[in-house]
Structure 1
Amino acid sequence: MGDVRYGEWVRVERHGQRVAELVLDRPAAMNAVSAAMAEAIAAACAALAADRTVSVTVLSSSSEKAFCVGADLKERNAMSDADLGRQRPLARAAYTGVLDLPMPTVAAVHGYALGGGYELALACDLIVADPTAVVGLPEVSVGVIPGGGGTQLLPRRVGAARAAELIFTARRVAAQEAVTLGLVDRLAPEGESARTAALGLAEAIAGNSPVGLRAAKRALRLGHGLDLRAGLDVEDAAWRTVAFSGDRAEGVAAFNGKRTPDWPGE
């Protein structure tokens, strides 16, 4: 899959053989997620999920001011209750599309990542931010709750009490505190953008076995929250998918031959 545009406001770019970048491309609205944009995110994710050549996906923004400011409240202001109900499956498809990507995912957060915008980042495995980043889930301040996975993903990242404090107060958190609290995983080096740092991390990850990366993600996701014995069974099933793969054979041969693996990805 080469560079592809999905609708007006989402595009996917390729970097080398193994890294894809899903770009939120509605800068005039700071990537506010409209119904059409939600559909485009879901379509892009479906295409990425089906592409076995992608080892890592970076989720980024073309806006200079924001990663994503969440739902398009101007669009929603004109909606009836029935309209809002019809839009809900579109929104869920966008967030679950990112969450369900089978390869490791890295969010590149700069500027505002608020509400549904921060939930898109939370749906990724790793979040890289730069010093401009401001994150938060302010939904209760406008009469709703986080509905893109925030009430479930944030406690898994920072613990139940910390998540409750952040969601109940609706407060915004700047980059340095966000790293300290675990709301983001890495802060980009001084002078480097979140996108550059995220793509660098993605390239490093993509040097590893594509089969191994997908199996490791599956084990991490499916095993989370299970008791230890059940989690070990999940791990064993994931191990078996890798142990008899072409990637495992190539990895062992490359190690013994003191060379870089040429992963078949199968």
Structure 2
Amino acid sequence: MSTQTPIKQAPQPKTLPMSAKQTPLQRARAAGTAHAARAAAHLTAAKGQFDSLAAHPQTQRALVAANEQVETLRAVLGRSESVLAAEKATGVERVRLVVGAAAAFILLVPFNLFGLAPAATRALTLLFPAYKAILALETGKNTDNLLAYFIILGYFQVLESVFLPILVSQIPRYYTFKVAFFFYLAHPRLNGATKIHNVLFSRKIATPPMSPTPTRTSGAFAAMSPRLPLSPSHANVPLPPLPLSPTSPSQEDMFSVPGFARIARADRQ
């Protein structure tokens, strides 16, 4: 009885997945395409939700109210010459300009973003008042409040350079209060600089009116000082002749001294 030996079959080669046959760059591209497709699907869904939310009646009423508030704010800002000048100089719509400036102020000064609160405070307290001073000089407007402002600013900077560490450590939000204080000083309607200057720095020297009687003299010159009023109405009054003492020579002998020519009087012929 013959025995048959089993025939061994050759091993089949293993089939690799499609991703194993790709290069790393191709796999990265495929993964990026899949992520972009998913992101586009999410954006489409979010856009649909946003459109449905925008079409809601309450959202429409809120948008109408917001537009009315913006128009009111635009009208209020149009009354300010400074805002109109800034809008004309920058070309930015006034509401966006003011809102952007307010947001930048909040980030830089109260929150001290990137440590720029000191620099931003110095710029706000110096550049804008200097610009207003230039406009006042060119237009011939009153500059009393601006002059008082720069006087107070000079004194304040000297004191701040000495006590700055104490001020920053003891006063919370020191730079915010500083900007608010100098805004009060520089505002043309408040005139805070003029008020503080009159209280702290102005010295009013009261000059007494001229006395109607002259100052008294004593001694030998008491008889020689004429007592005349010094008011302007008596400016053309002729002075009386000076009285002579008994020991002094007479008027006739005073002109008979050698070296002097006698002048004939007009009343003598």
Greater RCO (CA < 8 Å, at least 6 residues apart): 1
Pair member with larger Rg:
2
Which of the two has greater helix per residue?
2
TM-score class normalised by the smaller sequence: under 0.3
Higher strand share: 1
TM-score, length-scaled by structure 1: 0.25
TM (norm. structure 2) is: 0.25
